[in-house]
């Protein structure tokens, strides 16, 4: 279908609605179906997980896409599927190997829950990905959106998949002023979409809504209303409310924490710590760090170093990393040692940083300095 034919099709599918004859809520949602499906067939991006939307692949992609941009996910998805091509391999992978495969994606609990869920699938479903929404919802790390996405995209079941993109699109189409961060708003939307979505086209319907939210009815900046197949029925567009809708509670201010980070080096070895099994960045490896911004004179005592072992202590500048609720403001030092990494640290080979030890992005500015 060329662009001219597509435009003619969208025009035929658009809903004629006079100002004094407004559609009720469910009628407005049903009116989306035709234009949305036609638009998606024409404009769907080519993405690796869409080429073969099998249950395991859809699941992995949806977990990776949480809190992460599509373009950033693509190489991770390919690498992950090559190393762990099925539920069985994921269930049995060593934790350090899993963390290394996930390194750079952040929100590492997502990977831990993937492995836990894979174990449940092996034990309770014989290694076969469950396809029903209710069964998927019982798995660790899977909420209503992911359960809906896997069930509809991989298996065609008519269940909604409401993420931030869908919340924004539907809020604008219906001119809803309900707070999209409230669970009740999401539940309300899921209920009405379940009743009005096309039962035989659930996969394309859900993906179409998500796609519009990602590339047309965008989260930041002005939406591209002229390119949207839902423009004719969108109440936010009609009443020029795009800047006011969706309504979202302002986020709480992040807690600020000062850190001092040391790159401890001796020859081809680097000193690492392993974080505790719970809390922020649980069980990941890290560059040694301490609370506060320390001076060069404070480094030896704070990091348990013999001053006589220090060949060079070089400031390497500040760095910042933002977590969801915490913001780290870091200052860094490179410390070269004479006779080895102290026994209180893990002595890791620099080549092993590429293959074995998963270091979070929080330390990215400093890990890039390691030769």
Q: Which two tokens stand for residue 160?
A: 């909604």
CA 228 – CA 174 distance, rounded (Å): 15
Nearest-angstrom CA–CA distance, 80 and 54 = 15
DSSP E strands: which ranges in 207-357?
255-266, 269-274, 285-286, 289-291, 310-322, 326-337, 346-349
Quickly tell me which residue has 């209920």 as its tokens: 191
Q: Which helix (H) or strand (E) holds 207?
A: helix 202-215
Distance of CA 358 to the CA centre of its chain: 18
* Residues recognised as catalytic: 62
Neighbours of 250 (CB within 10 A): 6
CA dist., res. 46 & res. 211, Å (int): 11
DSSP three-state, residue 318: strand
DSSP secondary structure, 321-352, as one string: EE-SSEEEEEEEEEEEESS---TTSEEEETTH
**Which DSSP category does 251 fall into?**
P
Contact in structure between 198 and 207 (CB atoms under 8 Å) = no
Closest CA relative to residue 66, chosen from 150, 131, 190: 150
Tell me the two tokens of residue 41: 């067939």
**For residue 293, what is the DSSP state?**
-
**Cα(229)–Cα(114) distance, integer angstroms:** 36
The DSSP string of 190-201 is HHHHHHHS-TT-
């Amino acid at each position: 279908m060329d662009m001219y034919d597509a435009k003619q099709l969208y025009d035929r599918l658009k809903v004629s609605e006079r100002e004094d004859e407004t559609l009720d809520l469910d009628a407005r949602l049903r009116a989306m179906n035709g234009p949305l499906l036609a638009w998606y067939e024409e404009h769907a991006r080519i993405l690796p997980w869409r080429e073969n939307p099998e249950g395991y692949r859809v699941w992995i992609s949806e977990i990776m896409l949480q809190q992460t941009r599509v373009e950033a996910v693509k190489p991770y998805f390919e690498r992950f599927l090559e190393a762990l091509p099925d539920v069985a391999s994921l269930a049995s992978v060593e934790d350090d190997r899993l963390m290394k495969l996930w390194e750079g994606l952040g929100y590492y609990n997502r990977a831990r829950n993937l492995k836990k869920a894979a174990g449940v699938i092996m034990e309770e479903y014989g290694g076969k990905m469950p396809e029903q929404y209710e069964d998927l919802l019982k798995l660790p790390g899977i909420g209503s959106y992911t359960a809906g996405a896997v069930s509809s995209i991989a298996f065609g079941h008519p269940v909604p998949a409401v993420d931030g993109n869908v919340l924004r699109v539907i809020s604008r189409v219906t001119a809803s002023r309900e707070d999209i961060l409230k669970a009740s708003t999401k539940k309300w939307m899921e209920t009405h979409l379940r009743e009005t979505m096309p039962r035989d086209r659930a996969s394309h319907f859900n993906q179409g809504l998500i796609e519009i939210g990602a590339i047309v009815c965008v989260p930041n900046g002005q939406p591209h209303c002229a390119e949207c197949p839902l423009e004719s029925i969108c109440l936010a567009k009609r009443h020029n409310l795009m800047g006011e809708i969706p309504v979202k509670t302002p986020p709480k201010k992040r807690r600020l924490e000062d850190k001092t980070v040391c790159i401890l080096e001796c020859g081809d070895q680097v000193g690492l710590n392993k974080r505790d099994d719970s809390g922020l960045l649980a069980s990941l490896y890290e560059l040694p760090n301490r609370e506060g911004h320390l001076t060069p004179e404070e480094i030896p005592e704070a990091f348990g170093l013999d001053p006589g072992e220090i060949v060079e202590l070089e400031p390497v500048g500040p760095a910042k990393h933002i977590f969801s609720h915490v913001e780290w403001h870091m200052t860094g030092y490179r410390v070269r040692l004479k006779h080895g990494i102290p026994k209180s640290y893990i002595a890791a080979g620099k080549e092993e940083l590429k293959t074995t030890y998963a270091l979070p992005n929080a330390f990215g500015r400093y890990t890039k300095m390691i030769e």
